[in-house]
Amino acid sequence: MADVSQPTPLPGAVPEQPSYAHPVAAFFLFFFKAAAVFIYIFCGWFKTDFVINFCTITFLLVCDFWTVKNVSGRLMVGLRWWNEVSETGGSDWKFESLQEGQRAVNKKDSFVFWTLLYATPAVWCVLGFIAILKLNIDYLLLVVIAALLSGANLLGYLKCSKAAQNQIKGRFNSLFASGLRAYMFSGRS
């Protein structure tokens, strides 16, 4: 009797892509961004005070910033960044990335993370342009805060990604050089 627990793939069929490795992180990555934009766009429909709208949207923006910086980036793409102020008053960027041999980054998670990371500052810039056209200076301040927070996350992760790529290249170069030295000086005749 044949085993029916695992169906055999059809010849030439594309293997099924793995699902999201971190669906909860992906949900909150999207939720805080979408909620802030939704409330910003539709707050005029609700009869609430500007201060309540400002505080609610700012709270969502701060939650988004913290979640992206400390949770989603680490889980979904294996990167984390932070900035420390040195004793001289300078700014020191610090980066963490997955080391070789640690878990692999899920392609779907990575796609969602980078797409939302790039799209968010662009959306806030468009909303800022609309606020300027409508001469809505009060809400323009919210847009500036949102663009700065989402832009800081984008810049931090771009720097972190570049640092991780340089680290991998450095390891590869050192392994290649040590292998070449071992080959050249192995005493082969």
Closest by Cα among 136, 147, 156, 126 to 33? 147
CB 32 within 8 A of CB 60: yes
pLDDT in tens, the chain (189 residues): 455 555 555 555 555 556 877 888 889 999 999 999 999 999 878 778 889 999 999 999 999 999 998 888 888 888 887 788 888 888 877 777 776 556 677 788 889 888 999 999 999 999 999 999 999 888 899 999 999 999 988 888 888 777 555 554 555 555 545 555 555 566 554
Confidence (pLDDT) at 166: 55
Helix, strand, coil percent values for the chain (each to nearest 5)? 65, 5, 30
Classify residue 107 as left (phi > 0), alpha (psi -120 to 50) or beta.
alpha
pLDDT of residue 118: 92
Q: Give the C-alpha separation, 53 to 185, whole Å.
A: 70
Looking at residue 22, the DSSP 8-state letter turns out to be -
Output the pLDDT for position 64. Answer: 94
pTM for the structure as a whole: 0.73
The partner residues of 121 in beta bridges, in order of sequence, read: none
